[in-house]
A and B are shown apart, each in its own frame.
Chain A
Amino acid sequence: DIQMTQSPSSLSASVGDRVTITCRASQTISRSLSWYQQTPGKAPKLLISGASNLQSGVPSRFSGGGSGTDFTLTISSLQPEDFTTYYCQQGYNTPLTFGGGTKVEI
């Protein structure tokens, strides 16, 4: 199985800050990396697929990068609704696997 390691597991930030979350794969996954946002009590929402492809309707302050084993999710200017949990997911091989999550707190 491909292990996905997110860091940090949590971070504290303020409205307007720029934050970056990192996801590392245990083996190369090309650009088969997606990012999801999950608010409490809700299903995850797809933000980015293919490492950097922003989904329709997702604000442009979100961006993704990386390839191979190292990936990033950047939020350029945190908004109040962004304080929640983010997960990465590799789609390169089954079993499909997720990172452990990063909680972004005020």
Chain B
Amino acid sequence: QVQLQESGPGLVQPSETLSLTCSLSGGSMRSYYWSWIRQPPGKGLEWIGYVYHNGATSINPSLKSRVTLSVDTSKNQFSLRLNSVTAADTAVYYCARAEYILGETRYFFDFWGQGTLVTVPS
């Protein structure tokens, strides 16, 4: 069974860099799109971006200037770096596996980590 687990600091100071890692167990990284999604407290879901197993990325234009995504298939891990954080970046950050099915279905998120709350004090 595929399992994902986020790790990283729960508190990041303003203007610093948020760094999170997601560890995969029970599956292969090949052929999937490894994603980051965040949810501010009490609000909805925002897709940050994905990294493919070969290192190709797609990042939400709203965050593109601040986000770096990377993958290490030898460790079954992928990572998020978000720089110049502000209080607006306070959220639960989820890692998730996105599957792409050619044709009508396209992208959907079938496995999620439990999420990790990252707080940026104001």
Interface residues of A (CB under 8 A from B): 1, 30-32, 34, 36, 42-46, 49-51, 53, 55, 87, 89, 91-92, 94-101
What distance in Å separates the Cβ of A86 from its nearest Cβ neighbour in chain B? 11
Contact B112 A96 (CB under 8 A): no
The number of residues on chain B lying at the interface, defined by a beta carbon within 8 Å of a beta carbon of chain A, is 25
Question: Which A residues are CB-close (under 8 A) to B106?
Answer: 30, 32, 91-92
**A53-B113 Cα distance, complex, nearest whole Å:** 22
Contact B44 A43 (CB under 8 A): no
B32 within 8 A of A: no
B2 within 8 A of A: no
B62 within 8 A of A: yes
Question: Which B residues are CB-close (under 8 A) to A31?
Answer: 104-105
Contact A32 B105 (CB under 8 A): yes
